[in-house]
Amino acid sequence: MTKKSVIKKILKYWFRRHGKGEGLEQKIGYVFREPSLLAHALIHRSWLSGKNLPYWENNERLEFLGDSVLNMLVTEYLYKTYPESSEGELSKRKSAIVSGHALAQTSLAWDLGSFVRIAKGEARMGGRLKESILSDAFEAVLGAVFLDGGIEEARKLLVRFHFPRIEEILSGPEFVNYKSQLLEYMQGLALPVPEYRILSETGPEHLKVFEMEVYLQGVACGRGKGNSKKKAEQEAARQALQYLAKEQEKKSESESLNV
């Protein structure tokens, strides 16, 4: 018996003994013919750290495969759904749809973090909610489904869970660059560029929450929170654009009354 087949048997046993994969199968609506593939997809590298398991693999190879499957199926979906879009527009959409943030958000529908095998220390540091761990596990599961059931089953998984979120993803800050829009607006009126100031930085190092405020000509016009300064700035810029739109609306109403 080869070392690979021994590991396969151990993974199958672990799958049955702990019920980790079975619960996930119910959530994703797919039952594996080869349960060890799913068990393998749920092993984060931190879980193997310090263990004398030289022939075990983490889920990174499955993640690599799943990433390619994801990109191909998303590209196919965009090509068929947006026939009038240019290559550049399709590429921009695809970047948002396959982003780690988008995948991590979709994985929440599966409660994927509770199924991933990670080190206790990583878990204590909030690893089960880390976007990088969730998005990598999502791709690994997709790769496992592809190996077990083929491209059609992988496509069905995305059709059920990820593709219905595309409009939401494309209207979110990962796709819409509110900072650029706000900058262009101010420059178009020959006004000073927006100034972003950090208001607070809270939470432990691995789960930081930033609060930013944006000032237009010295006036605070938008405030945002996020798990990175960039995301907090994007939200602040979005609120500032809403503020400017309302001010413009008020101005238009006032001018029409004075006519």
Please list the active-site residues.
Answer: 67, 139
Angstrom distance (rounded) from CA 155 to CA 56: 28
Q: Tell me the C-alpha to C-alpha distance, in Å, between residue 95 and each of 103, 130, 143.
A: 11, 20, 19
What are the E-state strand segments in 189-243? Answer: 195-202, 209-216, 219-226
Residues in the chain: 259
Tokens of 177: 């660059």
Tokens of 110: 């599966």
Cβ-contact 132, 126 below 8 angstroms: no
Long-range contacts for 67-76 (Cβ within 8 Å, ≥24 apart)?
67/98, 67/139, 67/143, 69/142, 69/143, 69/146, 69/151, 69/154, 70/98, 70/103, 70/139, 70/142, 70/158, 71/98, 73/151, 73/154, 73/155, 73/158, 74/98, 74/158
Cβ-contact 39, 12 below 8 angstroms: yes
- Rounded to 10 degrees, what is the CA torsion of 40, 43, 49, 50? -70
Alpha-carbon Rg of the chain, whole angstroms?
Answer: 23
